[in-house]
Structures are given as C-alpha cells and as structure tokens.
Structure 1
Amino acid sequence: MANAALAGDQQAFGPLLPAVQEQAAGLPADRLTAGARAMAGAIAEASPHLGGWVAVLAGALVENGADAGPAGPAVIDRLVEVAAAALAFAGAWEKATGGAPPDPMEHEPSREVWETVHPELGDGAGVTMESWWALPQFAMAASTMLARDQAVRASVAERDFKVSVVDQAAPYLGQLEYVRDLLKVLDGERLLVLDRATGRGWTVVIGGVGDNFQLHTLLAHALIRPGGMPGEAPDPRWVASSMDQEVEPGTPPVAGVWNLVDAHGSWIWNEGVPADIPEVGGTRIVVLDPPTYPRTWSPGRRFPLMPGSLTVEGAHAPEELRDWWAHVKPAVPPAGG
C-alpha cells in the first residue's frame, strides 16, 4: 500500500485501503505497529491526497493498538505542510472570488476549482488544491496520534510554529481546533497553585490535560482533602472520567469549586487550555478564589483517547510563598462579567 501511494498509483491504491483495514482486524499490537511504521514514509512523501488516506489508516491502526511513535511524527509534520499549502489555496480562492473557499468535507475538487486559483498560484495550483481536500484526513490522523501517545506530543519540534499554522487554518476546518489544542497539551508541567484566602500553595504536575474543565476537576480531587483545601470532594465518577475512564451512565454534571485566576488577575476560563495560563518567572500560576457564580459542566475529557493526570508534588506554607504572592494581582472580573 505504501509503495502504491509513493508511486502515485491511484488505481492500485483505491482497493488496497479497505483490504488493509480488513486484514488489520484482530492483529496483535506488534504487527499493527510494524504496519504503521511501514506507512511513515508514504505519509511524509506521497501526494497530499494519497498521503492523507495513508495517514488515516495509520491512525486506525493506532486506535486498534499500534504504537503511534513510528508514524505519529510524520503525520504531524505533513499536516503542517499540507495546512500551509491549504492556506495558500484559501487565500487564492478568496482573492479570486471574494467568498469563502469550498468546504473540503462537502465538495469535490474539479477543473473549475483549479481554474479559479491557477491565475494566482500558477504551477502550485494543483498541489495546493490537493492539500485543501487532504486537510480533513491529516487532521483526523493527527488528532489520534497526538491524543494517543505522549511520546508523539513530546517529539513535536518547532511547536509554536506548528501551532500557529494549524491555528490559521482552523477557521476553515473545525477539526483543526482539536489538533491545535492537542499540540498545546502540557505533559510533565509544574503549576504553582495558590489559595488567596489562606496564602497556602501547592506545586502540582499535570499531563494530558485537554482543557481547564479537566484541570479544575483534577485540582479539586487533588486538593480537597484533610490537611488540604476544605470543601466537598468531587464525585469519584467525575474524577475517573477526567483521568482515563469513560463517563458512567447517570453521572451528574460536574460542579465547579473555585474561580480560577492567573497571576495578572485575569480569569482562567474553563473553556481554555493550561498552556494559555501565563507564566511568572517561568512558572504558570493558578490562584484559587471563591466561585463568583455556580458553574457546572459535562463530565469527561475533551479528548477521550488521552488520559489525564494531576499529582501534588509539594505543599507550601504562606511564609514560603511571600515572593510569589508579590507578583500576584487581585482578581479583575471580565468586562460584562
């Protein structure tokens, strides 16, 4: 299959896709990993169209138990390359027509499309058009690779650049919002959590936390205990589904415990991600304030394939934190909040 993709043999490639999927069913993990490894070259070098479908198949192997490491980095790197070309296509289309480019999920490439962008893109029209329609396949595969394997997330080089390219393309394809935020996931990251009411604090280490809803739930689980923060401990079902379990049927909505605030006094919105919490001296600070109004949200993880964790590395008395508190501003409600 990889050879057919590299050779650009679409007639041979088409029947191979379902055949390989069928043959992979029930194979042990080592065989699936070997298959994903064999696909890495085609993902990196085949045409965007064929490379995208090889990436989808590699993602399916990972979902069935293959190690994402052999193919994951190739998927991420090629996604960024394809996204950059797709942005060129979108820009040429918008310049030519004054309107939004065709939805890659609902329309098909055509001669008319090529003729629309060719005056602007010249010889690059073909590959940019192909990249536009390959974007959903690469986005799907990248989401799987990043969510499944911390090592793939750790392997991402030039992360800020990749996040920027994906973020620019995200308005054209919603799936890329997930890819962007998976690229921003912090693994092994230390946060300093400060309780404004008592002056106490904790150093916590997070990994695989997909959004601040999950962070909030795991903080409550870690800190509300004898000798820690007072309050009602979170429902164990909320905690389990924020770590690595599916949401149990009948689980009630999660109830928020605090208003999370950063060191500059701005609210940390649950809809955001931990990577957006600003640093002070190289450390991200989360301040715990009483809730300003009741907050509830659905239990579970934004990325079900990615397990999350939060552990307390150390507790700090108020006198140990005076220098940190000097950098912390009072909470400032958002405009209209």
Structure 2
Amino acid sequence: MPGRPATPLPELSTGLAQAVIRLDSRASTRSYRAIVDRLPHADEAELSAGLLPLVPALEQVAFGNGKLLATLVAGLIEQGADPLPALAVLSERLATGLELAAQFGVLTDKLGGEVAAPTSPEDYQRLRERVVRAAPAAGLSLEEAGEITQAWFTVDDWIPSLLLPLQQKRARQALPGRDRLTAAAATMTPYAEDAAWLLGLLEVLDDEPLLVLHRPTGRAYDLTISGVSSTFQLHTLLAATLIGDESRGLLPGEPPEAAWVAAATDGELMPADGIRGQFYLADAAGETIYNEGRPADIPLLGDHRVIVLDPPPYDRTWTVGRTYPLMTPEVVLNRVLPPGEAAEWARRVAPAA
C-alpha cells in the first residue's frame, strides 16, 4: 500500500508562517520540525518556493520572537534556496534591530545592576519590571524601552540569516539598504558577536578595479576582484595570478603552493604547514597594506585601488586561507600594462621606503 505523499515545503512554510503570526508556539514547533525533516529531500526549486511564504512572517514577527524564522531562512538558503526574495526584509529588520540594540546603553545605567538575557518566563517578567521602572528615567516611552531591550538580547539571533546569503555575489549586489545596514553593524560590532562577521561581508568589494605595480620589475597589471574578504586572502590570490610565465609579462618567482591557493578559494581552510607571504604590499602613498585588513581599506588613486609589490623584508606566515568558507573569490587579470603605461603608474606612486 503506497505511503502518504510528503507535504511539500511551500505548504509547510505557509503553516509555520501563519502559526508564528498568530503566536501559536505549539503549531510553530510542529511545523518547524516538519520542515527540518523535509529539507534533505527538497531540490533547489522546492527550497526556493518554501522560502517565499516565510517572507511576510519575517516582516511581521516581533523581533524577539523571530529567531525561529531567521534561523530557518538561513537553513533554507544554505541548502540552496534563492535568497533574493528575502533580502529586503532581512536587511530592513536587521538594520532596525541593530540600531535599536545600539541604544541599550541609554538604559543600562537606569536598570540598576547586571542585566542578563532572560531564560524563563519569570526572568522575562523581572526584566520587564525593571524596564518599566527605568524607561522614564532614561527619557524613553515604555514601548521604546521594550523594543530596545528586546533587540539587545535577540539581534545576534537574526544576523546568521544574512551571513549565508551575503557569501553569494549576486546577493551582495542585490542587497538593499546596504549603507544603513553597514553603519548599524559597525556600531554593534563591540557588543554583538556576529556583527563583525556581518560587517566584513558588507565591506566586500565586487567587480572592483585593482592596479598592481611590481616595483622590482616595473611591471603593472590591471585586475578586477570580487568576493575577497581579507588582504591575507588577496595576497595569496595575487601571487597565484601574477607569478608565472615571464614571456607573457608575468612575474618571476615560485608560485604559491596548491594547498595555499585552495585555502584561499574553495578548499581546506588551513593548510597543514600554513601559508607563506611572497610580497610586501604598500599603497600608492607608500603606506603598508596590512594583511589583517580588507581590500576595501586600500586607498584609491584616481578610480583604481593601487597595490605596490616589493620583496618581503622578512618571512610572514599565516594559518587560514579565507574568512568566509562559502564565498567564492574572483581575481581576474584583465591585461598586462605596456611598459610606457606601467612607467606612468610607477611615477604616480611613492618611492620605496
């Protein structure tokens, strides 16, 4: 006798969204478990269709009650759902949550004593009573104080819903409200554990022109980079792209080991023997470009970010090839500049220290 047909994700997600909106915790838990059970059997089309009914619920749910939905959305995207339909809502809700949470300092002095996240209804009631007493002294309405407190204790639960999609180039390029979200994430970086990871993704450059000048040979290269999260990663990828056949205008030297390049792209993050630097990097003004920074930190000279490569003055090694395991970097060599053009760029940069 044939078994009962499996309920498809869109139907399960619709049930979850409705239960969340009406604050039915029992039905929410039941629907959530059914969705988790269905995920391993769903293809990308079903996963994407299953995401759509959750978007209105993401928009309406109280921030403090949204962890279930935000976590599920991250899971659907990780499995293969198209993130684009959810980006606008996630960006707006998360920016608002981060902005509210950043105001918690206004309340802390008035609440009296240490403030811990509530873990039970009794804890929540005690915290609410403290917020009720503190709000007038902080110059806030009770509603404002409640929203700020709720965001402070729950905003970290929402951040992973964007950490996954923003490792996709098309999601980064389609993200609305990027400047507002970046400012909000920067403000909360000292306080919310995942805010720094979000900020790093928001500052990733895509389709960004890069001019690289190799001072010892006078050669220069026009490149385009996307999805590179750190200068450590860029350092390895520049060596992989530019060291090679000198008859084609590439640089002399030993190319980076395959394990280093894999760690910087889509392989194991930590090669057994670490990664070795092959250049000293400076900007056009002669200032050191630190590996701990990001490509977005490299100053512009005209309409190009400029990197000057010199021999490394000492051995430098690091252990991790890339910051975001699911983000695919692109470093494209567009052209080797002819000698006259390379010399002109060399005249525009600061001399070697």
Q: Compute the TM-score of the two structures, normalised by the length of structure 1.
A: 0.89
Paired position in structure 1 for 2:209:
190
- Within 5 Å, give how 1:95-114 maps onto structure 2: 95-96=109-110, 102=116, 110-114=124-128
Does residue 307 (structure 1) correspond to residue 324 (structure 2)? The answer is no
* C-alpha distance 19-109 of structure 1, shift in aligned 2 (>3 A): farther
The yes-or-no answer on 1:49 pairing with 2:64 is yes
Which of 238, 243, 251 is matched with 1:229 structurally? Answer: 251
In the alignment, what sits opposite 1:129? 149
Q: Kindly tell me: are residues 37 and 281 of structure 1, through their superposed partners in 2, closer, same or farther at Cα, counting changes over 3 Å?
A: same
Secondary structure of 1:191 counterpart: strand
By how many angstroms is 1:299 displaced? Answer: 4.0
> After the TM superposition, which residues 165-244 of structure 1 pair with which residues of structure 2 at under 5 Å, given as runs?
165-227=184-246, 228-244=250-266
Amino acid at match of 2:148: T
Query: Residue deviations 1:203-228, cap 9 Å, x none?
Result: 11111111111100100000010121
* Cα pair 1:266 1:331 within 8 Å, conserved: no
Counterpart-to-counterpart distance in 2, 1:316 and 1:98:
64
Cα distance in 2, alignment partners of residues 292 and 267 from structure 1: 12
Q: How much does 1:200 deviate?
A: 1.5
Distance 1:146 1:171 in 2: 21
Following superposition, the deviation at residue 311 of structure 1 comes to: 1.4
CA contact (8 A) 2:277 2:316 kept: yes
> Which entry has the higher C-alpha Rg, 1 or 2?
2
Q: What letter is aligned with 1:140?
A: P
- SS of 2:212's partner is strand
SS at match of 2:70: helix
Shift of 1:131: 1.6
Equivalent residues, number: 327
**1:327 match:** 348
Q: TM-score when scaled to structure 2?
A: 0.85
**Contact in 2 for aligned 1:33/1:67 (Cα 8 Å):** yes
2:275/2:321 contact within 8 Å kept: no
AA at the equivalent of 2:234:
L
Instruction: Give structure 2 stretches of 5+ with no counterpart.
Output: 1-15
Q: Contact between 1:258 and 1:291, CA under 8 Å: does it hold in 2?
A: yes
* C-alpha distance in structure 2 between counterparts of 1:180 and 1:78, whole Å: 16
Cα distance in structure 2, aligned partners of 1:270 and 1:56: 33
C-alpha distance 323-36 of structure 1, shift in aligned 2 (>3 A): same
What SS does the corresponding residue of 2:100 show, helix, strand or coil?
helix
- Once the two structures are superposed, residues 40-74 of structure 1 have per-residue CA deviations (whole angstroms, 9 ceiling, x without a partner) of 22222321123332121011011112222222342
Aligned-residue identity in percent: 34
1:135 to 1:65, Cα distance in 2 relative to 1, 3 A? same
Superposition deviation, residue 181 in structure 1: 0.7
Q: 1:46 to 1:195 in 2, by over 3 A?
A: same
Distance 1:157 1:323, change over 3 A: farther
Partners of 1:81 and 1:12 in 2: how far apart? Answer: 28
Structure 1 segments, 4+ long, off by >6 Å, are none
Structure 1 distance, partners of 2:135, 2:85, is 36
RMSD: 2.4
Q: Does 1:277 align with 2:298?
A: yes
Query: 1:97 & 1:285 partners in 2: Cα distance?
Result: 50
Q: Separation in 2 of the partners of 1:295 and 1:322?
A: 29
| Other-structure match for 2:182 | 163
Query: Which runs of 5 or more residues in structure 1 are unaligned?
Result: 333-337
Task: Confirm whether residue 145 of structure 1 aligns to residue 159 of structure 2.
Answer: no
Distance 1:137 1:109 in 2: 19
Match of 2:105 among 81, 84, 91: 91
Matched, 1:253 2:270: no
